[in-house]
Amino acid sequence: MWENNTESTLIMKKISLLEKDINLRKRLIEKAEDLEVLNEFLDQEQVKEEEVSKELDIFSKLLKDFELKLILNGKNDSNDAIVTIHPGAGGTESQDWAEMLYRMYSMWAESKGFKFNVIDFQNGDEAGLKDCTIEIVGDYAYGLMQSEIGIHRLVRISPFDSNSRRHTSFASVSVSPSVDNEIDIEINQKDLRIDTFRSSGAGGQHVNKTDSAIRITHIPSGVVTQCQTQRSQHKNKEQAMKVLKSKLFHMEMQKQLESKKELEGEKKDIGWGSQIRSYVFHPYNMIKDHRTKFEVGNIKSVMDGNIDDFIYSYLLDKMEKNK
């Protein structure tokens, strides 16, 4: 096994996931036993109620993590995630909203201890971003980020409107599993058009002075990926190909699901103009997921990356529908 670095890396990753799963189960059992003893002590007034409440909170969090692991049992759920954010019509308004979502996901990834790799980032004309592709690296990143696929709608008083009028903006989020060597994607080189261009984003003098950026077009499907964040053309091409494989694999997954009629409940959500979640900043504060009806009023907390409750409610709802 050790002669094949790729194979050994995949096996070690599987071992790590299994070890974490076993440890979680052990901790859950231990906490349940501790709570049973504490409740007996509470009945005898040997411990305070606050101490039991604190242990109960820890147990509840472990139980929630355990439930998520049971739900995230799809073949690719444990993979890393390739996330693309694209603003809708509306110019600066939507581009600014797309960057707000980019910030939200980067803060969420940081809170989970995940890596957040920027593959492509195109700045907006005045503010925000025109398009971006990121890779979130961590256990079950793809499984968790599936909840974000679709259209996100923002309602607020525009900071770009001199008359302070209320505006509605849209941005789309697509997510595909980051491919590894277990996933075999065959791409005919004749089907690819590869263009080089000069990077326009951040990256230093070297990046901006050379045609190091890569754009790859898969002609049969029309899928376009690009990368301009690496210093070398070779690395940019490698990243762009990785994203292309992930997107083509995701498209194939969707085709298979559609043929089994398992995607009918979500097809409406992914369509442009049909939002999965609304973020209302004015005339009141509320963020509501239209699929699960889950909503919160603390918009600042959510925009700072606290989206776990939305993810959890989506996954629970998805599990119930698939029963």
Mean pLDDT in order along the chain per 10 residues (323 residues):
74 87 93 92 89 92 87 89 90 93 97 93 90 94 94 92 86 88 76 84 45 88 88 86 87 69 43 79 94 96 96 91 75
Rounded to whole angstroms, what are the CA distances from 144 to 73, 81, 83, 247? 11, 9, 12, 17
Burial of 300 (0-12, 13-18, 19+ CB in 10 A): exposed
Structure tokens at 43: 């009945």
| 109 and 83 Cβ atoms separated by less than 8 Å | no
Q: Nearest-CA neighbor of 115 among 84, 81, 138, 140?
A: 138
The reported pLDDT for the residue numbered 68 is: 86
pLDDT at residue 202 in the model: 47
Report field, pTM of the whole predicted structure over 0.85: no
Could you tell me where the beta strands, DSSP code E, fall in 112-200? 115-123, 129-137, 150-157, 166-177, 192-197
Q: State residue 255's pLDDT score.
A: 75
* Phi, psi for residue 244 in degrees, rounded to 5: -60, -45
pLDDT for res 270: 37
Q: By CB neighbour count within 10 A (0-12 exposed, 13-18 middle, 19+ buried), where does 82 fall?
A: buried
**Phi and psi at residue 182, to the nearest 5°:** -80, -25
Q: What span, in angstroms and rounded, lies between the C-alpha atoms of 293 and 290?
A: 5
Q: In this predicted structure, what is the pLDDT of residue 257?
A: 65
Distance CA 46, CA 288 (A): 44
CA–CA distance, 163 with 96 (Å, rounded to integer):
18
